[in-house]
Copies of this chain bind each other. A is one copy, B any other.
Amino acid sequence: MYRFEPNLRIPGPTHLPPSVREAGGRQMINHRGPEFAALLARIDRRMRVFFGTQQEVLLITAAGTGGLEAAIVNALSPADRVLAVPTGAFGDRFAKIASVYGAEVTRLETEWGRAADPAALRAHLTADADYRAVLLTHNETSTGVTNPIAALAAMVRELAPEALILVDGVSALGAVPFEMDAWGLDVVVTGSQKAWMAAPGMSMIALSERAWLAADEARMPRFYFDLRDARKTAANGQTPWTPAVAVMYQVDAGLELMEAETPARVFTRHAACAAATRAGLEALGFRLLADPAFASNTVTAAWIPEDLDWKAFNGEVKARQVVLAGGQGKLKGKIFRVGHLGAVNLDDILGAIGVLEEVARVFGRPAEPGAAVAAAQRAVLAAVEARPAAAEGVPA
């Protein structure tokens, strides 16, 4: 047992604030009653702000992966041509779901650690634009890259105007500016355990008007994830199946905190924590995976140095109550990841960097006491000064 609460620095599940913890322990209510209807309506209303949409935001009791499956099966039919633009393990997963349900998937590859390139997408679509849908990943959790969704979507809208744009927004929505309607996105998915500061278990999803039309024609089999039922029952303040009520209490409590903080300040806090993480890790000699121009504000991946026994190193880090994430897919064993999303503040990051610095010294690595934390703090000032737009929460 730990004497102190661990510093949970994984990219979800994220740390729960006190009011969210309290919400998770509340008594059950009738999910077919008026209290539930009010809860559902409140989450929908508050979520729309962060989705940047006037569409309703529906709730599914599932992990984010279930939300991705809902996006696929509600929009598509078997044999539909789909262009996947994977940039890591989660992009691969999105593409695989489409394949499993019978879509004919073409992949536009990007080196892991880089962002999908709008110019490459332009070249591809200029040669072949006959797609029913394009699958994009907003924030690739496995590499710590945030893809330029607005630019990518603009390319699709220009060259393949009939294609639906399906976006995995699981691991950054709520933490960075996002404009579903303005960017012309058709399906956007997120998950409760990420920026929303709640426990896992709920996935939130919004569909554009044309995605709803597509849902009526889509022929992939679906029952649990049939969003037409979710929409119909939501009109009566209900969900089709018994939802994860306690997780909804938590999402609601998290949104209340985010509303009080204001979206702009939520975004600035994430930008600051991300800048501090990157600078601190680099000061410790770790090489970052992500292209700096597209480094994620919610998760940072760093290469494990070849001369470092990571298992032993990470054991010492964990013994000091800092919990990091490993690599996924082909990056397993090659990188580690630091989550900085949801209920995260600068002290959590400085604390984690300080622990990494201490353990680095234990392992005889060059690490001047205080230097990495100082670098992290300097980076925060630079980040906020250099990116007033981010500080104001305005999309870049």
The residues of A with any CB-CB pair to B shorter than 8 Å are 5-6, 8, 10, 12-16, 21-33, 61-66, 69, 96-97, 100-102, 191, 193, 199-201, 220-225, 240-247, 250, 323, 325-326
Contacts and interface: CB of A to CB of B under 8 A. Distances in A.
Nearest to A69: B224
Contacts of A13: 28-31, 242, 245
A33 B31 CA distance: 33
24 contacts: A8-B28, A10-B30, A10-B32, A14-B28, A16-B27, A21-B25, A21-B26, A21-B27, A24-B24, A25-B25, A29-B323, A31-B200, A32-B326, A61-B66, A61-B201, A62-B62, A63-B241, A63-B243, A65-B241, A66-B66, A101-B221, A101-B223, A201-B246, A246-B250
B221 A221 contact: yes
Given A16-B28, A28-B199, 10 more contacts: A24-B24, A30-B325, A32-B326, A65-B223, A65-B224, A97-B223, A102-B221, A200-B244, A200-B246, A201-B245
A63 B63 contact: no
A244 B242 contact: no
A138 to B, nearest CB: 17
B244 A100 contact: no
Nearest to A23: B25
Given A65-B241, A224-B69, A244-B200, A15 B27 contact: yes
Interface centre among A15, A66, A222, A240 (most CB of B within 10 A): A66
A394 B193 CA distance: 42
Contacts of A21: 25-27
Contacts of A245: 13, 193, 199-201
Interface of A is mostly: loop
A79 to B, nearest CB: 13
A199 to B, nearest CB: 4
Given A100-B222, A101-B221, A242 B193 contact: yes
A301 B15 CA distance: 43
A256 B13 CA distance: 24
Per CB-CB distance, the 4 closest pairs between chain A and chain B, nearest first, are A25-B25, A201-B244, A199-B246, A63-B241
Given A26-B21, A32-B325, A244-B247, A63 B61 contact: yes
B64 A241 contact: yes
Contact of A242 (B102, B191, B225): B191
A63 B223 CA distance: 12
A331 to B, nearest CB: 14
Contacts of A25: 21-25
Contact of A247 (B29, B64, B247): B247
A110 to B, nearest CB: 22
Interface centre among A96, A199, A247, A326 (most CB of B within 10 A): A199
A82 to B, nearest CB: 14
Nearest to A339: B30
Contacts of A30: 8, 10, 13, 323, 325
A178 to B, nearest CB: 21
Nearest to A34: B318
Contacts of A14: 28
A220 B221 CA distance: 9
Contacts of A325: 30, 32
A345 B326 CA distance: 46
A239 to B, nearest CB: 8
